[in-house]
């Protein structure tokens, strides 16, 4: 299975999405899935990632991909999932059933998935982290700094995401609305079409 993960901006998100999506696919008994991060084109932000023309172009550019995963930040926007659902509907019309496009918004940012797989400092409250609209600045970057990883690739995203991915079950348990939902939908598709 060939999986193309489409981040809103791959420059930092790639370091988090590749290990976490790899762990997700492994949990679905697809350890040999080929996970690739879309770097061409560079979307450069969520507004570009939500444009159907950009998504359609990516789908057409990668005809050998079985599963497209658009992963963006929710950023506290209640309507974000509605926009993602519209993209899924349009993609289904050109992909059919054998290939799949899914879009998920991290609650509130992808960095939270990485934090979910970590042993956090005692003063970090998980429910507060999940509700924080800017968890990257408020929790992730200070945590990376505490771990002395700000100079690592992606300001610590690469090593922290690799650590978190080894505890994928914990990420899924703590992030049921986003990563859990994504896993369930991929599993349903695999079950139906494999």
Predicted confidence at residue 80, as pLDDT, reads 94
pLDDT above 70: residue 154: yes
Q: Residue 28: which pLDDT band, with cuts at 50, 70 and 90? A: very high
pLDDT digits 0-9 by tens, 68-115:
999 999 998 989 999 999 999 999 999 988 899 999 999 999 999 999
pLDDT digits 0-9 by tens, 111-132:
999 999 999 999 999 999 999 9
pLDDT above 90: residue 194: no
Residue-range domain boundaries for the chain: 2-193
Look up the CATH number of domain 2-193. Answer: 3.40.50
Chain mean pLDDT for the chain: 96
Give me the mean pLDDT over the 32-50 stretch.
96
- In 3D, which of 30, 32, 2, 5 has the Cα closest to residue 18? 5
Give me the mean pLDDT over the 138-163 stretch.
98
């Amino acid at each position: 299975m060939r999986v193309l993960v489409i981040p809103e901006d791959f420059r930092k998100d790639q370091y988090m999405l590749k290990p976490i999506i790899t762990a997700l696919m492994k949990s679905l008994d697809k350890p040999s899935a080929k996970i690739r991060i879309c770097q061409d084109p560079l979307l450069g932000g969520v507004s570009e990632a939500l444009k159907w023309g950009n998504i359609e172009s990516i789908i057409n550019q990668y005809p050998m991909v079985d599963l497209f995963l658009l992963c963006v930040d929710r950023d506290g926007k209640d309507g974000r999932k509605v926009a993602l659902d519209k993209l899924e509907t349009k993609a289904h019309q050109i992909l059919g059933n054998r290939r799949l496009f899914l879009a998920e918004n991290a609650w509130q940012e992808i960095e939270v998935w990485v934090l979910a797989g970590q042993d956090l400092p005692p003063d970090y409250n998980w429910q507060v982290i999940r509700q924080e609209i800017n968890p990257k600045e408020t929790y992730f970057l200070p945590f990376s700094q505490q771990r002395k990883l700000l100079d690592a690739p992606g300001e610590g995203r690469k090593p922290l995401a690799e650590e978190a991915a080894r505890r994928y079950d914990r990420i899924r348990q703590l992030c049921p609305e986003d990563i859990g939902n994504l896993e369930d939908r991929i599993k349903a598709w695999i079950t139906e079409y494999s």
